[in-house]
Structures are given as structure tokens and as C-alpha cells.
């Protein structure tokens, strides 16, 4: 063999770093939003999770779980129907790690601040592997919705909040922990669930309440190896919400057939399936005919998680870009010393910090539901954050990928993570209500609580008042629109302007001046650049980059 060249000027993989310690905006945000007495304990737990999630060993599990995706086994060797999905052992390692850290249940088991702490943990874990968080998120979200059937909740709550991951498909009493999923979307319509055709026929009264038989299908049914699901089906009084366990109380498997697994763009480690119910037994949750509001109790929490997930992915992509730009030399200097690359990276850092601020703010609203102001902010900010943060994700992923040059587009090796992030990014924007549906949901909140919303948003935006003409104009742009009826054509514009104004107000209140000022210049001043990297030359690039540095 002749040596043709030496490999030089390639950046090292970003592994064995503590993702919590390296995320200054997240740590500062926790100090703002957590009750004083809860901060130290939360920091200890998140630091432990940050070390695990950033470790080379767990990053390898993330890669294996994605490369060796789930496989559907419809039948056993003797031809019996089993409807099981097999996962690589790394998937189970990731699941047990997420559940051991309470990401599926902490707020239901702990006290004040638990949603904020869990939100931070969810974002950190996303940087390790987002797709296993699908069943983790659905388990977290399903638990409060089960209050609509107290008997089921009483039996399932101890396992839903257990920190042991138990993937076995066995009867509840033999399980050490359980997970849950949800089934709303059918072939003929997902956003418009009223078009659901799955039928539910009442069968009998049981210790878990009214039991029905379901016949029909679901076109998207993620994590079908969960132990139970909340599903929508048409009963006599209309669309209703049902609890459907995979294994029945007598130990038999429920009549749920997994038809096939989806061949997805990304989210490869997670199984998403198409299923049919062939007379599956399911128990009513809430009232017959009130299925949509009932299951939306779950949907509100999964929408929070979409915002958190995209924020986590943004942070991961930013860290990879910053890490690479510090090491890679071009034209005689590291990339990070080139003016235009500094502008791009600083602008991405602003986007990531603003997303972190909005995500934690929203999680705080979930922690304080007994406060009417926070309850209203939860209602307003959930669609706004889900819309805006998730919508910004794909462009962000593309720009961070470009910072790595050609290596960013290649799947293999350390930087291959970037391609995985890029494929994952659009998902949070689509599922749990796509962009338009979120913008329309914001209009619905305004219709129902109009003047109260305007007053609450005015209070939230108070930090912008009188700061500068640009800030006053941004505040007025939103508050004026909240006064009257908003045309549907303008719903996205309102959601965008509201998101940007709330992000600016949060940065004004809690971030250093150089972050706030650069954000205002880049996002609010009326002529912001349409691509990343258009910050004005006066921005404090040095401090913006230092602040965002991952280690």
C-alpha cells in the first residue's frame, strides 16, 4: 500500500460532554422558572442526565437504534397472529434510560416545578435520541387524561409513574412499568377527526366502567408496543375517547392488528404503524360524544413536547456546528474566526436561546394551573410555541448542516448525527396538529377568551414597553390584532408575531443585554434578514458565541 495522504483538518466527534453543564441558557432559564427550593435538586438530577445523554456510549446506542430500526412480526413460526414489533437492544437501553429519569411521569409524581424540570430533561434527552421520546411523551400526556375514567386510572397509575421500563407484552398485574400511546388519525382525515369512522358498540358495564367493542382502523399509530392507548371512535352519542389495552385483564391479547410499519423520512428508531381493530375491547374515558376535548387533554401536553423536542434538536445541531467551526480551518483560520460564519452561528445561537426561553416559559405555565393568568398563558402559548418553534426547526437544521459543509450531509460517522437531526426536524411540526391547525387553535382561544387574552398578553409583553420604538411597534402589532376579530388568512402572521414578541420579552427580562439587543435587531426591527447570518455588524458576536459554546 502506498500512503496517498494524511487525514488532517477534520473535527472530532462531540461526545463525552455534559449536555446540561454546556447549556448556559437552559441552566439560567431553570433558575428563573423553578421555585427556589426545587432548583438544587433539579440541577443535580439534570446534570446526571446531561452526563449520560452526552456520553459516547449512549450516543452509540442512539446510532444503533436508528440504523437497526424496528421490525414487525405479524405471526409466529406456527402461523399464530402475534402483532409484535421487535427492537434492537439499544432501543430498550434508551427507553429504560428515559423512563429511569422520569421523563414520562415526573410531574404526576412530584410537586411544584416538576413540569419545568421535566421539560429541561426532555430537551437534554432529545439531544441524545428524539424518536424513543414518542412513547415517553405519550405516556406523560395520557396520564392526566385518564382522570376521565377513575377506575382505570387507579389501577394503572402506579405503573404509569413507575421508573422501571418493562417492554413485555403481559397482563397489567405482572408489569413493573407501562407505556401508553394514542390513536386519532384515520385515512380519511387526521386534523379533522370528526371524519373518524371507527365504530364503538357498547357491550357491558365492568369494574373499569362501560366497555365497548371497536371495529375500524388507525392510519398512524405510533409506538404500537405500548401497553395501552387512548383512541377515538364513534359511539351512539358521537365521537368518544376510549382506553384500549393491548393485553386484556384476563391475559388474552386484545383484537388489535398491526398491518404494517410506516417507512418514514426520519424518526427511524420509533415504530409508527397502521392498525385495525377487529372487535377490540375498550373502555369509555369521559362522556360519550365528548371524545375530542377528552383526548385534547393529552394533545395539549404532547404539543408542549413538540416545542421541547424541536428546541432540544436545535441545541444539539447548534452545538455540533459550533464545535466543528472551532476546529475546522479554511483560508488559514478556524471557521469560527470568519466574520460571516460568526454571524451565521451567532444568529443560530439566538434562535436556539429564544426557543429555550419560550419552551421553559410554557412549561412553567403547566406547573401553575391554579393561577388563572398562567392557565390562560398555557392555552395561548401552547399553539404559539408549537407553531413557531417547530416551524423554525427545519430551516435551522439546514443552516447548521451547512456549517459542517459536505460532511454535514453524510450519514456516516460522528457528524452523521446532523443528517439524522435534519430528517427528524419536520416531524414535530406535522404531528399533534400541523402548523395551520396550531394557528387556527390560537384563533379559537381568542374567540373564547378574547378580552382576557389581550390583557394577559399585554402583561406578558410588558418588558418591551418603552424600551425602543422597535419594541413598542412589535408589542403594538400583537396587541392591536388581539383587540378585534382576526381573519383566518392572518392566523399564521399573528402566531408568528406573538411568538417573536414573547421571546423578545423573555430575553429582555432574563438574558444579557447583548442577547436581547441582537434578537430585536434580527427578528423585530421590520427589515430582518430572511436567512440566518443577517445580524447587523454591531452585534456582540464574541459574547454571543461564547455564551452558546457547548463545553
Ligand X SMILES: Cc1cc2nc3c(=O)[nH]c(=O)nc-3n(C[C@H](O)[C@H](O)[C@H](O)COP(=O)(O)OP(=O)(O)OC[C@H]3O[C@@H](n4cnc5c(N)ncnc54)[C@H](O)[C@@H]3O)c2cc1C
**Distance of closest approach, residue 179 Cβ to ligand X, in angstroms:** 12
Length of the chain: 551
Question: Toward ligand X, which CB reaches closer, 303 or 328?
Answer: 303
Name the 3-class secondary structure at 485.
coil
- Give the whole-angstrom CA distance, residue 156 versus residue 169: 15
User: Quick one: cell of 338?
Assistant: 470568519
**Distance of closest approach, residue 210 Cβ to ligand X, in angstroms:** 22
- Residue whose Cβ sits closest to ligand X: 190
Question: Toward ligand X, which CB reaches closer, 312 or 433?
Answer: 433
Among 98, 94, 96, 103, residue whose Cα is nearest residue 66:
94
Name the 3-class secondary structure at 259.
strand
Question: Toward ligand X, which CB reaches closer, 83 or 432?
Answer: 432
CA atoms within 13 A on the CB side of 179: 29
- 531-to-19, 70, 203, 344, 398 alpha-carbon distances in Å: 28, 37, 58, 9, 11
**Distance of closest approach, residue 501 Cβ to ligand X, in angstroms:** 23
**Distance of closest approach, residue 510 Cβ to ligand X, in angstroms:** 32
**Distance of closest approach, residue 131 Cβ to ligand X, in angstroms:** 9
Which residues contact ligand X (rule: CB under 6 A)? 181-185, 189-192, 220-222, 264, 267, 272, 427, 430-437
Query: Please, are residues 267 and 427 in contact by the beta-carbon 8 Å criterion?
Result: yes
Question: Toward ligand X, which CB reaches closer, 222 or 407?
Answer: 222
Question: Toward ligand X, which CB reaches closer, 20 or 221?
Answer: 221
For the chain, state the CA radius of gyration.
24
Report phi then psi at 310, rounded to 5: -65, -40
Question: Toward ligand X, which CB reaches closer, 59 or 222?
Answer: 222
- Give the whole-angstrom CA distance, residue 222 versus residue 183: 8
Pairing of strands 228-235, 180-183: parallel
CA 479 to chain CA mean position, Å: 28
Question: Toward ligand X, which CB reaches closer, 308 or 336?
Answer: 308
**Distance of closest approach, residue 267 Cβ to ligand X, in angstroms:** 5
**Distance of closest approach, residue 125 Cβ to ligand X, in angstroms:** 18
Query: Please, are residues 481 and 497 in contact by the beta-carbon 8 Å criterion?
Result: yes
**Distance of closest approach, residue 432 Cβ to ligand X, in angstroms:** 6
Question: Toward ligand X, which CB reaches closer, 11 or 185?
Answer: 185
- Give the whole-angstrom CA distance, residue 390 versus residue 386: 6
Instruction: Using the structure block, give the residue that is written with the C-alpha cell 444579557.
Output: 512
- Give the whole-angstrom CA distance, residue 506 versus residue 209: 46
Other Cβ atoms less than 10 A from the Cβ of 8: the count is 6
**Distance of closest approach, residue 37 Cβ to ligand X, in angstroms:** 37
**Distance of closest approach, residue 137 Cβ to ligand X, in angstroms:** 10
Query: Please, are residues 285 and 230 in contact by the beta-carbon 8 Å criterion?
Result: yes
Query: Please, are residues 468 and 460 in contact by the beta-carbon 8 Å criterion?
Result: no
Following DSSP, what letter does each residue of 235-261 receive, concatenated?
ETTEEEEEEEESB-TTSPBPSEEEEEE
Among 146, 255, 149, residue whose Cα is nearest residue 208:
149
Amino acid at each position: 500500500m502506498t500512503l496517498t495522504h494524511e487525514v488532517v483538518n477534520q473535527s472530532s466527534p462531540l461526545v463525552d460532554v455534559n449536555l446540561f453543564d454546556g447549556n448556559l441558557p437552559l441552566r439560567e432559564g431553570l433558575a428563573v422558572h423553578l421555585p427556589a427550593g426545587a432548583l438544587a435538586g433539579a440541577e443535580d438530577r439534570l446534570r446526571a442526565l446531561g452526563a449520560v445523554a452526552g456520553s459516547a456510549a449512549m450516543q452509540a446506542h442512539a446510532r444503533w437504534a436508528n440504523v437497526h430500526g424496528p421490525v414487525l412480526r405479524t405471526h409466529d413460526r406456527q402461523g399464530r397472529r402475534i402483532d409484535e414489533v421487535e427492537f434492537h437492544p439499544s432501543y430498550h437501553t434508551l427507553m429504560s434510560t428515559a423512563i429511569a429519569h422520569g421523563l414520562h411521569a415526573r410531574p404526576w409524581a412530584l410537586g411544584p416545578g416538576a413540569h419545568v424540570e421535566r421539560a429541561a430533561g426532555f430537551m437534554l434527552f432529545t439531544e441524545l435520541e428524539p424518536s424513543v421520546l414518542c412513547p415517553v411523551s405519550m405516556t406523560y400526556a395520557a396520564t392526566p387524561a385518564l382522570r376521565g375514567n377513575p377506575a382505570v386510572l387507579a389501577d394503572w397509575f402506579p405503573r404509569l409513574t413507575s421508573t422501571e421500563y418493562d417492554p413485555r407484552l403481559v397482563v397489567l398485574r405482572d408489569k413493573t412499568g407501562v407505556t401508553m400511546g394514542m390513536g386519532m388519525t384515520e385515512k380519511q382525515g387526521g386534523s379533522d377527526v370528526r371524519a373518524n369512522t371507527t365504530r364503538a358498540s357498547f357491550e357491558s358495564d365492568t369494574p373499569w366502567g362501560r366497555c365497548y367493542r371497536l371495529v375500524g382502523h388507525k392510519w398512524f399509530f405510533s409506538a404500537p408496543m405500548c401497553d395501552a392507548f387512548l383512541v377515538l371512535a364513534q359511539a351512539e352519542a358521537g365521537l368518544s375517547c376510549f382506553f384500549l389495552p393491548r393485553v386484556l385483564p384476563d391475559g388474552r391479547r386484545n383484537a388489535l392488528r398491526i398491518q404494517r410499519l410506516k417507512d418514514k423520512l426520519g424518526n427511524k428508531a420509533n415504530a409508527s404503524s397502521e392498525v385495525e381493530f377487529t372487535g377490540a375491547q375498550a373502555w369509555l374515558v369521559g362522556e360519550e360524544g365528548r371524545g375530542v376535548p377528552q383526548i385534547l387533554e393529552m394533545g395539549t401536553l404532547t404539543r408542549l413536547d413538540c416545542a421541547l423536542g424541536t428546541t432540544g434538536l436545535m441545541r444539539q445541531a447548534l452545538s455540533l456546528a459550533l464545535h466543528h467551526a472551532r476546529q475546522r480551518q479554511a483560508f488559514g483560520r478556524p471557521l469560527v474566526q470568519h466574520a460571516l460564519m460568526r454571524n451565521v452561528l451567532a444568529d443560530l445561537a439566538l434562535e436556539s436561546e429564544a426557543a429555550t426561553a419560550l419552551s421553559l416559559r410554557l412549561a412553567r405555565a403547566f406547573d401553575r394551573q391554579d393561577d388563572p393568568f398562567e392557565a390562560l398563558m398555557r392555552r395561548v402559548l401552547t399553539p404559539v410555541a408549537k407553531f413557531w418553534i417547530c416551524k423554525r426547526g427545519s430551516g435551522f437544521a439546514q443552516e447548521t448542516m451547512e456549517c459542517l459543509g459536505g460532511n454535514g450531509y453524510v450519514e456516516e460517522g460522528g457528524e452523521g448525527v446532523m443528517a439524522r437531526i435534519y430528517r427528524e426536524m419536520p416531524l414535530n411540526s406535522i404531528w399533534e396538529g400541523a402548523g395551520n391547525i396550531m394557528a387556527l387553535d390560537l384563533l379559537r382561544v381568542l374567540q373564547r377568551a378574547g378580552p382576557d387574552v389581550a390583557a394577559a398578553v399585554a402583561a406578558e409583553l410588558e418588558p418591551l414597553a418603552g424600551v425602543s420604538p422597535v419594541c413598542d411597534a412589535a408589542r403594538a402589532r400583537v396587541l392591536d390584532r388581539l383587540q378585534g376579530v382576526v381573519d383566518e388568512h392572518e392566523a399564521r402572521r399573528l402566531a408568528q408575531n406573538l411568538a417573536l414578541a414573547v421571546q423578545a420579552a423573555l430575553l429582555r427580562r432574563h438574558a444579557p443585554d447583548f442577547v436581547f439587543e441582537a434578537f430585536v435587531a434580527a427578528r423585530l426591527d421590520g427589515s430582518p434578514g430572511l436567512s440566518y447570518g443577517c445580524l447587523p455588524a454591531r452585534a456582540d458576536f464574541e459574547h454571543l458565541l461564547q455564551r452558546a459554546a457547548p463545553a
